[in-house]
Structures are given as C-alpha cells and as structure tokens.
Chain A
Amino acid sequence: MTSASQTEREAAEWLARRESGTWSGADQAALDRWIAAATANRIALLRLETVWRKSDLLRDGPEPPASDAVDQAGGRYRAILSPLRRLRRAALGAAMAAAAVAGVILYPSWSPTPAEAYATPVGGFQKLPLADGSRVDLNTDTKLAVSLTASERTIRMEQGEAFFEVAKDRKRPFTVRAGGYRVVAVGTAFAVRMEGEGLDVAVTEGTVRVVREADNVTTLVLAGQTAVADRRGPVVRPAGIDELDATLAWRDGMLVFSESLLGDVVAEFNRYNRRQLRVEPSAAGVRVDGRFKATNLEGFLRLLEQGFGIRAAPAGDDALVLRRS
C-alpha cells in the first residue's frame, strides 16, 4: 500500500490541477482511473475535497476585492474589508461573545403529563423534554399542546416555531398538527414553523410525512430537505447543510442571514423583540450577511450604523424606523 502521506500528496495534486482552470475530458478520465485504482485514493480525495469545499465559508463577502489585497513583501494575505464584510466580521465576533456569555440555557427538569399546553413569550425559548424521551425546543412566541397516550403522541401547534427530536417508538407515531397539516415522524428530527397560512418543515434526520388534513394527500420529506406547505400543497426542495444550519440557528438563540434584504432581516428580528423595527425606502435595498443574537437588537442596530450608515429613529411606542443618514 502506498503510504498515506504519498496518497494525500497525489490527491492534492489532482484536486489542485482540477481547480487550475485547464481541465479536459482526458484529465477527468485519468483522475477516474486513479480513483478506481484504490479505495485509499478515493478516500484521500474525499477528505481533501470535503474540507476544501467547506472552506468556502471563509469567503465572507460577495464583492470583488479592492486592489492591493496582498502584501507583496511578506506575501501575507490582507483582506480589504468592505462595509458588508466589516459588518459580518463584527457580527461574528459579537455572536461568539454573545454565545460565550449566554452559555447554557436552563430548562425545567420536570416532564409534562399528557395534554399540557406550553407557550413562550416574544423573545423566549424553551427546551421541553417529553416523557417519551423526545425533546422539543420552542422558539419565540410559540404555543403548542402536548398529548401523549398509549397509542399516539400528538403535538398541536397553534403558532410559532419548534424543533422536534423524536424518540423512536414505532407503535406510537409522533404527529405535529399545524396549519391544516399533520407532520408525522417515527424516529427523526425536524423543525416546524408556522407562517401566515402555511408552514415550513425542515428535516435534519430521518424522514417525515407531511399530510394535508383536508384530503390526506401525503408528501415525504427526507433529511436534508425542507418543505413549504400552504393551501396549494407542500413543495419539497433540498436544503444545504448551511441552509439547515441557518434555519435552526434559533436553537442557539441566533439568527443567520446570507445576503438577505433588510426588510426580511427586520421581520425576523421583530419576531423576537417587543420593539418593532420598520424600514424606510432609503434603507430597503441593503443586504445583510451574518449571525446575530436574536434578542440583541442594540448590537444589530449598532452594526447597521457602523456598516451602512443606517440610523434608527424612534417612531411611537416601542417602534423604531430605520433610514439611511
């Protein structure tokens, strides 16, 4: 067997050549032969490729670089930060600091008995361990009722968003009823968010069935997929790891945006805070990237001001209007 470090070198050469911009069908054929020659080759390639793809996370802004990004003398890489990047950098720093401070979220040690109702206030978050071993995380402004019987486990969601980690029990299906749908799982993990008329279902593990109550039309949603279900029926599409991570960041008390319009960002913040934000047309075109603590409105506003010159002015009780100064 070729030594591991030799195999790794060869894999890196292949990958680097593939990235180089000159790559022909013959090159691909040669690479395919190299991969087929030994499982170790395939693995070395997978390993490097996986991390190389992940390192896209480091590309922190969509704009082209300003000139002089490289310090010739030292060959050192210096990012010239655009406002957007600065915002994102700052947001990252703030997010990590916030996460460090927030630490562990306390949750009650009792288990609920059947048919009990739970609610979180605006900005609230609750971890709810169920008697069957399942776990529910309630996001902001959420209402649901839990009913566990010998034959079924039912959650009725009235509003809001929750994440379910379902303990396996084939004899007792776990059903979330929300917005005219039943979301049925056996042993799996998924999130349900009620919005307007319909709901969003994001599955991180296993498979769930989304059943429309009206006609029992059933749609399967697999791990790594999300379904948007409204009156017309669910639409299923694949979601990348990054997207699922962003969708579920609220479980860490965070909001994640990727080039989102300020209006959408503000709508998200408004779910978590009493103080409601409005966006004036002058600021509406701004796009926001980054991770924010959902309840840290002050921090978010400060970043908007520093990054984009957007100021928040009071507009009546518990409301602020955002405009570009």
Chain B
Amino acid sequence: MQTTEQWFIEQVLPLEGELTRYLLRVLSDKAEMEDLRQEVYVRVYESGTIRQRPATRYFVFAVARNLLIDRLRRQRVVTIDSFANLESLHLRSDEVPADRVLSGRQELARLETALNDLPPKCRAVFGLRKIEGLSQREAARRLGVTESTIEKQTGKAMRLLANSFLGANAEPAPASLPPLGARAR
C-alpha cells in the first residue's frame, strides 16, 4: 500500500516546476507565491486521498486554482488585470502535458546542474560530505572551518538543491497574457 508520503514524493513533488509557473501567472511576488505553494501542498497532503497519476495532477492544479481565486476575492480592490489572468488559469487539456517520470539519466543531469549552481563554499561542503562521504568533523578539518559552519552550509545546500532540482526557481512562463503589473492590495 502506498503511503501519503510516498504518493506526495512520487506524484506531487515532481509537479513543482509547473505549479510554480502556474502560480506566478497571478502572483508576481516570489515570497507570496511560495506561501501559496506551501498552502497548496498542505491542502493536497491533508486531503489524504491517494490518487492515480493523471488524477493527481488535476487535483493539485484544481486546489491551486481555488486558492488563487480565494486570495483574489479577499482583496478589497481587484484589478481587471487580475481577473484577466484568472481566466488564463482555466486548465485546458492541451496544456496539461502527459505525466512524465524523469529517468535516472535526466535526474542526474538535473542534479548536476543544481550542483554546479551552488555557491562555491556550499559546493565544497556538499562535495566533501556527500560525494566524498566525510564526517562533519573531517570536513571541518579539511576546510579549516568550524563544524557549525559545515552544518549551516549543509542546510543551505539542501535548500538550494531542492529548489533547483524541483524547478521551484522557475521563471513565469511566457503567458498569453501580460504579467500582472499593479496588483490590488
């Protein structure tokens, strides 16, 4: 039996790049988008319903769309622009590509890109800890820094790798509509 965790890892997380671009059609602020993405994940996870592959995608994007609409409704002044963008949130079947599972080779290529994008210190720590398999203490000695620096850089590497690998840093897709300029507050 598949657990909710496994389902989330295998079917929901791979949608992150697409989901990010989707949310950015309406929310131009990165932090705001990240908060909403977190909310989408929480709702999807808490629904506790494990779905099969194509259904998962529709479910995730339906939750995202509803949350976006809620958010726009709560704003006191809503610009015409944001409504126009909302229209573009209808999921047409032709823009929902078939589910793809990355092959090991594609995953490796993505990881390599993510690794190369790490800042130098972070990459050095990642290399020693993960690739060379050194302990935190050994890595600290090798680099002549404290263990707490290694720990901090490790945490940073985790965040940067995850965001890069999952496509969380996606730029907004060239939408059919211009991006939202002045947003209602």
Q: Is the CB of B124 within 8 A of A19?
A: no
Is A108 interfacial (CB 8 A cutoff)?
Answer: no
Please give the number of chain B residues whose Cβ is less than 8 angstroms from any Cβ of chain A in the complex: 55
- Beyond A8-B159, A16-B154, whether A79 also contacts B5 by CB under 8 A is no
Is B51 interfacial (CB 8 A cutoff)?
Answer: no
Give Cα A74–Cα B137 distance, bound, in whole angstroms: 21
Is A92 interfacial (CB 8 A cutoff)?
Answer: yes
Is B171 interfacial (CB 8 A cutoff)?
Answer: no
Residue among A21, A65, A77 having the largest count of chain B Cβ atoms under 10 Å: A77
| Stretch of A42-50, A120-128, A177-185, A262-270 at the chain-chain interface | A42-50
Among A43, A51, A242, A256, contact of B158 (Cβ-Cβ < 8 Å)? A51
Is A236 interfacial (CB 8 A cutoff)?
Answer: no
Which chain B positions have C-beta within 8 A of A70? 124, 127-128, 142-143
Is A31 interfacial (CB 8 A cutoff)?
Answer: no
Which chain A positions have C-beta within 8 A of B137? 21
Is A153 interfacial (CB 8 A cutoff)?
Answer: no
Give Cα A254–Cα B104 distance, bound, in whole angstroms: 12
Among B45, B111, B152, contact of A58 (Cβ-Cβ < 8 Å)? B111
| Stretch of B55-63, B69-77, B87-95, B161-169 at the chain-chain interface | B161-169
Q: Is the CB of A252 within 8 A of B8?
A: no
Give Cα A7–Cα B41 distance, bound, in whole angstroms: 13
Among B13, B111, B155, B162, contact of A57 (Cβ-Cβ < 8 Å)? B111
Which chain A positions have C-beta within 8 A of B127? 69-70, 77, 79
Is A64 interfacial (CB 8 A cutoff)?
Answer: yes
Q: Is the CB of B151 within 8 A of A17?
A: yes
Which chain A positions have C-beta within 8 A of B161? 51-52, 55
Q: Is the CB of B108 within 8 A of A58?
A: yes
Q: Is chain A's binding surface mostly helix, strand, loop or mixed?
A: helix
Minimal beta-carbon separation of A158 from chain B (angstroms): 29
The proximity string for B residues 18-60 relative to A, scoring 1 for CB distances below 8 Å and 0 otherwise, is 0000000000000100110111011001100000000000000
Give Cα A235–Cα B162 distance, bound, in whole angstroms: 36
Is A39 interfacial (CB 8 A cutoff)?
Answer: yes
B residues 143-160 with Cβ under 8 Å of A? Answer: 143-144, 147, 150-152, 154-156, 158-159
Minimal beta-carbon separation of A71 from chain B (angstroms): 8
Is A54 interfacial (CB 8 A cutoff)?
Answer: yes
Give Cα A160–Cα B27 distance, bound, in whole angstroms: 53
Among B31, B35, B42, B132, contact of A65 (Cβ-Cβ < 8 Å)? B132
Q: Is the CB of B8 within 8 A of A48?
A: no
Among A52, A59, A77, contact of B133 (Cβ-Cβ < 8 Å)? A59
Q: Is the CB of A9 within 8 A of B159?
A: yes
- Beyond A40-B38, A57-B107, A72-B144, whether A52 also contacts B131 by CB under 8 A is no
Which chain A positions have C-beta within 8 A of B103? 245, 249, 252
Minimal beta-carbon separation of B64 from chain A (angstroms): 14
- Beyond A1-B35, A1-B39, whether A20 also contacts B147 by CB under 8 A is yes
Is B177 interfacial (CB 8 A cutoff)?
Answer: no
Give Cα A291–Cα B147 distance, bound, in whole angstroms: 37
Which chain A positions have C-beta within 8 A of B41? 40, 43
User: 7 new A-B pairs (CB below 8 Å) besides A43-B42, A55-B115, A72-B143?
Assistant: A1-B35, A4-B31, A16-B152, A56-B130, A76-B123, A79-B131, A291-B105
A contact residues vs B (CB 8 Å cutoff): 1, 3-5, 7-9, 12-13, 15-17, 19-21, 38-40, 42-44, 46-48, 50-52, 54-60, 64-65, 69-70, 72, 74-77, 79, 92, 95-96, 99, 241-242, 245-246, 249, 252, 254, 256, 291
